[in-house]
Structure 1
């Protein structure tokens, strides 16, 4: 189903919000890595391909992308990336959100950035679900 054509204004707002969250964070790569991880967790093949390609265009190595599913055991991810990936997994599996992870985020990021990272992760979960439910597979 071509959901973007059927409801262009509403879906357009979702994509505009997505762009704004990335802009507000300033480190576009961080949220893009989180979006790819969320898409992997949700099993959205289209989104995984899209975000992997996008990250390659940002200069992220294929080796790093290959290790993303096992990021916890990889030495390739720096502290901020590890923290955002941890938060992405916790927010995606909603029952596992940890106050300790939130406190760590607040050490690295402003409160607005924490909100924008969290909203960006939540939005990616929504976009994955829309694509999986209504998109071409």
Structure 2
């Protein structure tokens, strides 16, 4: 069965809250480069090709290196990431898996204020939602067409 709903076109009213969350997060205290890393890592976990394309391009546009993007799925085994980034990535993985151990919470609290942690959690849940829309209503022809900064 072909899943041919263009959710970006037909779902504008439903997607307003996701766009609003994205606009809010762009003004967050959390650095944009880190938010792009989180979006990219969650999209890796969820297997969302469109979001991987988008967030790799946006991450590069915000100064991210190829080396760090290539190593992101193995971030624990590298020295390329700061303690703050490691805490954010561990949090993103735990929230995505819906299993947040107390140790992960304590670790992330060492590096993020309460407001930042709320914003980080919003970022993780927002990208998870986008991933699920893109996976539910795939558009393989769109993968690779995103231009850095296209959506702001």
Superposition RMSD in Å: 1.2
**SS in structure 2 opposite 1:60?**
coil
Which residue, 100, 104, 109 being the options, matches 2:103? Answer: 100
TM-score calculated relative to the size of structure 2: 0.84
Cross-structure match for 1:55: 59
**For 2:29 and 2:78, how far apart are their aligned partners in 1?**
24
| Correspondence 1:124 to 2:115 | no
Cross-structure match for 1:36: 40
TM-score calculated relative to the size of structure 1: 0.93
Rg (Cα) greater in structure? 2
Cross-structure match for 1:11: 15
**For 1:79 and 1:108, how far apart are their aligned partners in 2?**
8
Runs (4+) off by over 2 Å: none
Q: Is the 8 A contact 1:106 1:114 kept in 2?
A: yes
**SS in structure 2 opposite 1:108?**
coil
Aligned length: 136
Q: Can you give the 5+ residue segments of structure 2 that lack an aligned partner in the other structure?
A: 141-152
Q: Can you give the 5+ residue segments of structure 1 that lack an aligned partner in the other structure?
A: none
Cross-structure match for 2:6: 2
How far is 1:69 from its partner? Answer: 0.9
From the two aligned structures, give the one with the greater helix fraction: 1
Which residue, 17, 20, 25 being the options, matches 1:21? Answer: 25
